[in-house]
Amino acid sequence: MSMPILNLAAYQFSPVGEPQLVRRTLGAAGRALGIKGTILVAPEGLNAFLAGEEEPCREMLACLRQVPGFEAMHAKESWSARVPFMRFKVKVKKEIIRMDYPTIRPVDQRAPAVDSQTLERWLDQGCDDVGNAMVMLDTRNGYEVDAGTFKNGLDLGIQKFTEFPGAVQKHLEALRGKTVVSYCTGGIRCEKATLFMRELGLTNVYQLDGGILKYFAETDGRHWQGECFVFDERTALSGDLTPRAQKA
């Protein structure tokens, strides 16, 4: 099956001084290019999910990179047979990923991250490089976990990310002394989740850099069970980033 549609997922925590101005600028650019998807603008950063033909999508990514502070914004790519969004929207929000915990500010600092290849090696050997036991901590909602998760991943049973702080505190003693790797679809939730756990006193905590989608792109998907839920009409992606509903 032909896969002519480029899908881009991009976020970055960086100060946005005039969110309404950025909303208008990016909205005009997206409408002119004819792409579909959603861009969230907040004082703490930008979060974008875009789809369309390759050239206008890459032009839109260039527009995002023209916002001061976002020159190095990275996008994860996948391909589909159809555009999985009905319309194009740019919204201003208080947070690009809502946690309702003002002291957690990825715009000021970034928690340590582990790359996909290192995580794959740790999972192969059953511990990190210094022999510490590992916990794979899923920061996603229950219906996302149902679609697929890392083998033996810890599911907190939450239904929205604002429930994460209370849920993870119930597991603190089980997490102490272990190497904790948090993961989510594209990495954005873990930017806050990992900082929060460090604030609670868990020192050996990492986020999976780029999330599940980057792990799929950079490894053979080993240690993952099922598919990865995505928030568009594709519903879920397999380990080769193939949309569930568009498999041949």
CATH code for position 28 = 3.30.70.100
H, E, C per residue of 174-204: HHCCCEEEEECCCCHHHHHHHHHHHHCCCCC
Strand blocks (E) in 17-73: 36-42, 45-52
Q: What is the number of structural domains in the chain?
A: 2
Do the beta carbons of residue 28 and residue 206 sit within 8 Å? Answer: no
Please identify which residue in the block is written with the tokens 């947070």.
95
Amino acid at 209: D
In the residue annotation, 63 being an active-site residue is answered as no
Within-domain flag for 199: yes
Nearest to 83 by CA among 185, 7, 1, 2: 7
Within-domain flag for 242: yes
CATH of the domain at 187: 3.40.250.10
pLDDT at 1: 62
51 and 146 belong to one structural domain: no
**Residue of 57, 63, 127, 184 marked active site:** 184
Within-domain flag for 97: no
pLDDT at 151: 97
Do the beta carbons of residue 181 and residue 136 sit within 8 Å? Answer: yes
152 and 197 belong to one structural domain: yes
| Residue 83 DSSP one-character state | -
67 and 158 belong to one structural domain: no
Within-domain flag for 105: no
pLDDT at 122: 98
pLDDT at 134: 97
pLDDT at 5: 97
Domain range enclosing 151: 113-246
| Structure tokens belonging to residue 226 | 């099922």
pLDDT at 2: 82
Within-domain flag for 100: no
Number of helices (H) and strands (E) in the chain: give both, helices first: 8, 14
Residue 79 CB contacts under 8 Å (≥ 6 apart), including other chains? 3, 4, 5, 6, 7, 241
The stretches of the chain forming alpha helices (DSSP H) are: 19-33, 54-65, 116-125, 142-147, 164-169, 172-175, 188-199, 211-218
What are the mean pLDDT values of the chain's consecutive 10-residue runs (248 residues total)?
91 98 98 98 98 98 98 96 96 97 95 97 97 98 97 97 98 96 98 98 96 97 96 94 68
